[in-house]
Structures are given as structure tokens and as C-alpha cells.
A and B are shown apart, each in its own frame.
Chain A
Amino acid sequence: MAIRPSRRQVLAGGLGATAALPLLRTPRLPRWLRSKEIYASSLSYKKLVIVQLVGANDWINNLVDPDEPTYAAARPTISLPKASMVRLDSTLPYHLHPELMPFKRLYDKGWLTMLPGIGYPVPNYSHFRSMDIWSEADPGARNVQRGWLADFLDNAYVGNDPITALDIERSLNRVFYGHPVPVVRNPDSFQFETDPATSVDKNVELAQIEQNAQFVRAAPNANLKFVADSLGRVPADSRLLTTIGSTYTPRATYPTVDPRLASDLQLCARYITGGLTTPIYQVSSGGWDTHANQVDATNRAGGRHGPLLAAMSGCIEAFLLDLDAWGAADEVLVMVWSEFGRRVGENGNLGCDHGHAGIAYLAGKLIKKPGIQSPLPAWTSVQPPYDKANFLHTVDFRSLYGTILEDYWGVDSAKVLGQKWAGLGLV
């Protein structure tokens, strides 16, 4: 069997012919030169808001045909009763989780695309490995060296936004490894403080913090250089992010079930409506690893999964309505993903273990092909014992990335993903 080159090797110049002729590789032009020669005017990218569901969303309970006999057979205690579910529309047998009502409303407006069965060829049941695979856009990834959005920013992006991406999380997301971007949770605390007792020194101290980080180090190791680079950029980012959109107030009602997710998305809305041109915003929601108590024994729409779905779908609906009320919904796409789906059958603890195929959602006013846009994995493809059975993927996650890159941003996906992944024409 031929060794399949990794995405990294392909981007680095590839194996085989190109590797044998390294001198033929054209050196990359510095960014300022590229932008002057090739792109006379600054490009304005449409905006992508990524919502990552950390822990593996049990997609089967998101979107299912409740009349499918295997569904109830595989999940005697965690399947959802049909009566409580939300029917997608009268032409289709599929129903949504009762707490996904906000997604039903988005679906009715034509603002929601669903990609059930999304995954990659060889299943990996480790959260961390699978997040690496998704983040690096490489099914062979082991530890993320560079995220796919870092490669987008370095290899394909040609704009000159002062901040190219914003990570609204506790720490830098794997998709940005290799190209660190500002991590912000609260703009009010996104600035350096000085001692109020010596306010006479305030400006000189702030200036020194900035300058001292920017002086050239004689022989820095990689870590010192990284810290100095990050620290030196903070004051400029701070000035921008503490001022822009400071008069924003939400123009839609966000659900309160997960205040963190609501405030993170409101921060995105603040910057987008305030005029920040940054194209990428990353937020996340945790707690999806429902090995136990996914449903409540007495209320299957409750348990751990129901409130998570309510918060996720409700906040995304409110976010889009908020942007629409501000007149900013025409340039924003929300992408929801999770590292994999969960096992077909339940595990006996009112939960289910790690599985393979999952679901991704795209939401926004500019969706061209709403509804279910990938084949649902077939129940006939699985056999008992269901707690060991997995659905195979029906759509590759890199097609989703191709959709973002090719269809949404109009850039060559090969520059980012190492090979061409045509978009699905959804946006």
C-alpha cells in the first residue's frame, strides 16, 4: 500500500516529485508584497462563527425518524417519544429533539442546513484524537501541529484586517494552533492596569509594558519568542477590542439556560455589529460527553442533553435574529460541529458511548440550500448488539470545510486542506 501523504506533507511541498526538486518551489512572498502586487484593494471576507460542541453531541437524538423500529430497540431508555418531538415538516419522517424548537423555526425560515452522518473514513473514538483530526483537517492527525484555520490565515487569506480571527474561549482553540489569535472573554478586562496610587506613572508604565516586549531578544528560544510576540501585540488589540461596539445592546432575547454561551455569542454580535471586519469567530460549549444521564429517567427531553440542545439552538437563533435586527445577518454564517457522534445503542447508564458519524449544522440568512443536505446513515446498516454498533459516515467533514473555503470565501481549498475539496453548494 502506498503511504498516503499527510496534509502537512502536501502543504510543505509534498512527497515524490516536488520533494525531489526542492529548488522548484517558489518562495512565498511576504504578505505586504503579495497584497500590494496582486490585491490592490483590501478584501472584506464574509464572517464565519464556529460553535464547537465539545464532548460529542449525540446526533441520533437530534434528528431521527421516531417510527424507525431499530431506534427504539437500540435505545430502550434514551430514545425520545415521538409525541414529544418536533416534526421537521409534513413531507419528511424526521423529527427534532423537543429542545431543538429554535432550529425548527430556523428551518422554516430556510436559515438552517443539517449535515447528518458527517465524519471521516477511519473512526477514532478518542475525543482528543478526533478533535485533532477535525482541527488539522487530516484523518491521520495525531497531535495538532497546525489547525486548518491557521493554514487558511497563512496560505489563503489576503486581507489586512488588524485582527484576523477572534477566539472567544478560555484558551486558544486547536484550529488556530500555529497562528495564534487573540483570546478574549470579557472586553472590560482586556486591558493592562496600573497602580491607582501612582497615577502619575500610568502612561509611562503602559508604554514600557508594550515597548519592553517588543525589543529584539538576542537569542530567544522558541518559547520566549512566542511570549514576546504575543505580549507585544496585546496593547494594540486591547485598544481595538475595548472600544469597538461598546454601545451594543442585544436586539433579540437570548435564552438563559447557558449564560456563558449567550454572552460569548453576544460578544461576537457586539464586534460584528460594531464594524469589526475580522472574518473568524470561535466559541464553544462543553458538557456533551453524555456517557450517563443523557436523559432523565422520568423526562427523556430533560437529563443532560436537553438543556445543552436548548441552549445551543436557542442562542444561535437569538444570535441570528439579533444580527438581523442590526442589519448584519447577510454576511454571517454559523457552523456547528462536534468531534464525533455517539454509539447507536445505549450503554445502560441512561447514556451512550463514543461513536463515529456525527452531525454538523450551518445556520444563517445566506444559506442557499437549507434542510437536510447529506444522506442519513441507514438503520439497516447496523446490527445488534447496538451498544457496539456505529453508523459509518455519509459525508466527509472536509466537504464542509470545502464549502466554507470554496463556496463561502471563494478561496482555493487545496491551499488550506492540501487537496481540493469541492463545496456542497450550500451557501
Chain B
Amino acid sequence: MQSGSVTFSRHAAAPVNGPAKPQVDSSEDLSPWSPSTADPWDKNKARHLARRAGFGLLPEEVETLERVGHALSIDLYLLVPGQRMPERGSYLLKTGEIVNLQNYTHQVAVWLYLMANSPWQLQEKMALFWHDHFATGTGSVPAVELIARSINLYRQRGMRSFRELVIRVASDPAMLYFLDNRLSTVRNPNENFARELLELHLMGVGNGYTEADIKDAARCFTGWSCAQDYVQFNTRTHDYGPKTVLGKSIDNSSLGRTEQAVIKDGTDVIDAALAHPATAKYVAKKIWEYFVYEAPSDTLVDQLAARWRAANYDIRTLMETILRSRAFFSTRAMRANIKNPVEYVVWPLRTLDVASNIRFLRVTNRFLQMGLPLLNYSGPDGLPDGQAWINSQNLINRTNFAEELIERRTRWQNSYLACGFDPEREILRKNLDTSTPVAIVDHFLDILIDGDVPPAVRQNLIQYMTATDNGTRNWNYAGNKTRELTQKVAGLVHLILALPEAHIN
């Protein structure tokens, strides 16, 4: 399969002259990756791109990416139109479900629906990242619609200027509520937002700011408030005195007691932090760990941060550097991360073609048991990624979601709205050999987890296809045995989604 894919690729490698170069470690190389005979563009790389820059693809879409080559595939992901979604009222999903956007669970369902169905996958993935980075929750925000509005902000601004994004977030009602800044006044400056702005949004804990910086930054943001759901820059509660943040003196008294002065004081804090070397490193490292692999070297982070600052903190440029890099396609990055709950839930919906015909309110109930309180973080620091998602209760909840996903004619199908998983789809599409279970097992292992399992697991699954609790059955699915075949294929998919490899992204 691998050598064949090179032939089909429009970006086939240039002929290699002379002896093959020894394999070098590309895991820290930010220069653009291009295919070679030894390292071709293939389905696994296309799926890697699809899982990281999005939430996976249908098998035939993976085949398309394989055909069009890596450069165009990455282009497709970088296309982010920045469209808004409805925040209020009610909404009809294409699954036939009517959702009420005042309702928290319904809002989560709409977002899961979008992540599973949106053609702009990186837009949703980036929004998911920024939502964790600028975490808010309904605990201190009066309405979930306000948090939905923040997600729209990330959709629209999440791939543009980081400076503008941070300013928008600082003046976003959800954030003004969540970190109490709407109450911060010259007489009673509230440090909560200023502290988390430096600590969590920009510089990272303890990275070069002092308590005095936080106190003065809090004074700069006094008067950044909101009335119901619109930002208000209050000229009467702002502290116009001179301040010093990160060694930079901030004094906009020349602007008078105006909204401009209120705004400028706040944006001056953000600019002071953006000029500090810690900020680009801290945020770029976090993005790298989310999209590529954990614990990158300081050298790599320094390079990435330098490029990002040179690009004036343009997020799209940073993402393009990352997705095109040799490091992104290195063995250190491929199948190295742990799926977060959204990735674990949305990926099979997309891969198994149930994203448009499943009941998302039901998916949401399952999803909310996996440890990620989407739209409802309790603390401003988001949640730790990677191994922190994995514990026994969450693994049980994930695996039981996978089980419900493949159930036929039982729970999903008690409504005519939902058709659920069709076990015959792939068999018919690929005209798989059903005379033995081997081709079916190999095909599903391939499309779901890149075929990356120990031989003993593969043998076990083949064995499963022919066995029942009552003993071994002969593999004979010709003719009228279709119903047993589909039941076994559904069970097979459940067992694959229950493998440790299924939690690896």
C-alpha cells in the first residue's frame, strides 16, 4: 500500500540521487515535510493530519487526501472561514433534533454536532483549544449563551491575531463575569482577572511577573465591565493613576477620563506581556503540545516562539508552520498523544459515518461523563491534557459509549430520526471478502487505529468473529447469514474502540 500511494501522489518525491541518506531524527525539525520513498505520504499520515487538525475523516475522505497529496490536504485544513453559529433561541440540527440554546446540555450537543459535521475542522479544533486556554463556566457566568458567544469569538478570531484575540477575550462578558473583573473598580481593584491573564492566558505561572505587576495590572483593568451581555468601559470606576507592569510604565492620563484611556490601559498590559519573551514561548509550547507531542525541547520552543513573534503573533502562520513541519510527521508525533474526550467521541462518529444520523443529545449525556465539562469549566486554568484524561472511571465511560454507538435496533433506533452505525457500509463499499473474517478485521483495524496492534490482538479479534459463548461457530456468512455477520461486525468495532490503541491520537 505504501509504495502504491507514492505513485498516486501529486507530490511524489523527487528521484533520489546517490545512496540513501541515513535516517535523521526529524522530531525537532520545523522545516516543511515532503514525501520521499522512505517516508511517503500515505493513509496513516493523512489520518494523522485529520485526527490532529480535526476530529478524523471518513475512510473515503482519507483516500482522497492520500490522492491529492500532503500540501493540498494541509491547505484544506488551514481554510478557516471564521463563521458564527446561532447562540440563542432554538435550532434544528440536521439529525432532526430540535435544540434549545438556553439549555446547557443542548448547547454542548450543538457543539459536538458541529465538530462532527463542520467542514471547517480546524476552526472547531482551535476553538476547543482556546476554550480550554481561556476557560470559563456557567458557575460564575449567568447564562450559557454567553459562553456560546465566547466560542463564536474563538471561531471568528481563533486563527488570526493572538493580540486581538486576547483583547477580545478580556472584554468578553463571559470572562468579565467568570473572573469578576466587571466588579473591579478604582476603590476596590479585583486581582482575579489580572492574575489569570498573566498567569494563564499569556505568560505562564511564575514566568517573570511579580505580585506588584499583578496589582498594577488589576488597576489597569478597572472599569472593564459589562452591562448584561455587552462590554462597557466604565470611565467613572477606572483608575487613571500611573502604573508599572513588567517594567513598562503605563500612563494614559493624557487621554483624559475617557473610554479610550480605560481601553488603552488594559491593552497596554497585554502589549507589555506580549513583548515579554515568556509569552510567545508559553503559548506556543501549549499549542505544540496540543497538536503535536508532549514536552518539546526548549530549543524547539524557542524557535517556534521566535517565528511566531516574527509573524506578529499571527496564529494561522504558527499553525501552518506546525502542520507543515517535518516534526509534525515525525515518529515522535505520530500516534503519540492521548485522545481527549471530545476526540474520543467525535472521531468514531466521523470515521463510521454516523455524524449526521445519530442523536447528539444522547451522545452528549455520554460525553459529559468523560471528565471534560465543555462550556462549564470550574476553574480558569482549563484541564490538564494527556494522561490526566485516563482513569478507570473515564475508560469505562468511554468504552460504554463505544458500545452504545454500535448497538443495532436497540437504543439508538427507538426513534426514526436515528439510523446509527451500519456495519455493512464498509463491507459493501470496499467489496470486502467475507469468505473469512480476516479481511474485515484488518479493514476495521486499519480505518480506526491505523492497523497498529500487536499480532495477538488481531488473532483474538479474528477468533471473536467465529466464536460465541457457547463455543466455536463455523465462519459461514454466505446467503442468509447477513444478520449474524452485521452483529459480529458491530461487536468487532466495539472491541476495537475498547483497545488501548483507540485512546491514542
Contacts and interface: CB of A to CB of B under 8 A. Distances in A.
Nearest to A388: B215
A292 B388 contact: no
A217 B452 CA distance: 10
A211 interface: yes
A195 B390 CA distance: 24
Q: What size tier do the contact residues of chain B reach?
A: 35 or more
Nearest to A241: B392
B500 A195 contact: no
Nearest to B398: A231
B205 interface: yes
A226 B504 CA distance: 11
Interface in A316-350: 347-349
Contact of B409 (A197, A224, A227, A353): A197
Given A142-B205, A195-B410, A347-B188, A286 B378 contact: yes
B403 A171 contact: no
B392 A203 contact: no
Contacts of B460: 208, 211-212, 215
A218 interface: yes
A223 B500 CA distance: 10
A424 interface: no
A128 B378 CA distance: 13
A70 B34 CA distance: 70
A212 B206 CA distance: 44
A230 B390 contact: yes
A348 B188 contact: yes
A4 interface: no
Interface string B361-391: 0000000010101000011010100111111
A190 B498 CA distance: 15
Interface in A203-259: 203-205, 208-209, 211-213, 215-218, 221, 223-224, 226-228, 230-231, 233-234, 237-238
A196 B404 CA distance: 10
Interface stretch (A11-19, A91-99, A177-185): A177-185
Given A195-B410, A209-B495, A348-B187, A231 B395 contact: yes
Q: What size tier do the contact residues of chain A reach?
A: 35 or more
B191 to A, nearest CB: 5
A389 to B, nearest CB: 13
A183 B464 contact: no
Contacts of A211: 460
B395 A200 contact: no
Contacts of A180: 387, 390-391
Given A142-B206, A195-B494, A230-B390, A127 B381 contact: yes
Given A230-B395, A286-B378, A348 B491 contact: no
Interface string B492-505: 00110011110110
Interface string B148-164: 00000000000000000
A190 B499 CA distance: 17
Contacts of A161: none
A287 interface: yes
B388 A171 contact: yes
B407 A184 contact: no
A353 B190 contact: yes
B408 interface: yes
A58 to B, nearest CB: 14
B396 interface: yes
B48 to A, nearest CB: 14
Given A195-B407, A211-B460, A234 B378 contact: no
Contacts of A128: 199, 205, 381
A232 to B, nearest CB: 8
Contacts of A369: none
B494 A237 contact: no
Given A172-B388, A208-B460, A354 B191 contact: yes
A215 B453 CA distance: 10
A387 B218 CA distance: 13
A84 interface: no
A170 interface: yes
Interface string A161-188: 0000001001110000000101111100
A127 B206 CA distance: 12
Given A129-B206, A142-B205, A212-B460, A204 B498 contact: no
A125 interface: yes
Contacts of A171: 371, 383, 388-389, 391, 394
A9 interface: no
A195 B383 CA distance: 32
A55 B294 CA distance: 28
Interface in B170-198: 179-180, 183-185, 187-192, 195
A384 B373 CA distance: 41
B487 interface: yes
A385 B192 CA distance: 18
Contacts of B192: 289, 291, 353
A46 interface: no
Contacts of A198: 487, 490-491
A380 interface: no
Nearest to B199: A126
B4 interface: no
A200 B464 CA distance: 12
Contacts of B371: 170-171
Nearest to B487: A198
B139 A287 contact: yes
B457 interface: yes
A348 B185 contact: yes
B393 A182 contact: yes
Contacts of A172: 388, 391
Interface string B399-418: 11001101111100000000
A298 interface: no
Interface in B26-43: none
B392 A204 contact: no
Contacts of A388: 215
Give the 8 A-B CB pairs with smallest separation, nearest first.
A348-B188, A183-B391, A228-B500, A227-B500, A349-B183, A182-B392, A215-B456, A291-B192
Interface of B: 139, 179-180, 183-185, 187-192, 195, 199, 205-206, 211, 214-215, 294, 335-338, 369, 371, 373, 378-379, 381, 383, 386-397, 399-400, 403-404, 406-410, 454, 456-457, 460-461, 464, 467-470, 487, 490-491, 494-495, 498-501, 503-504
Interface of A: 54-55, 124-129, 142, 167, 170-172, 180, 182-186, 189-198, 200-205, 208-209, 211-213, 215-218, 221, 223-224, 226-228, 230-231, 233-234, 237-238, 286-287, 289, 291-292, 347-349, 351, 353-354, 387-388
Given A212-B457, A223-B504, 17 more contacts: A127-B381, A171-B391, A183-B394, A192-B403, A194-B403, A195-B407, A196-B410, A198-B491, A203-B469, A205-B495, A215-B457, A223-B386, A227-B504, A230-B390, A234-B392, A291-B192, A347-B190
23 contacts: A125-B195, A126-B206, A142-B206, A171-B371, A171-B388, A180-B391, A182-B391, A184-B392, A185-B393, A190-B392, A192-B498, A195-B408, A196-B407, A197-B487, A200-B468, A202-B469, A208-B460, A213-B499, A215-B457, A291-B179, A292-B183, A351-B180, A354-B191
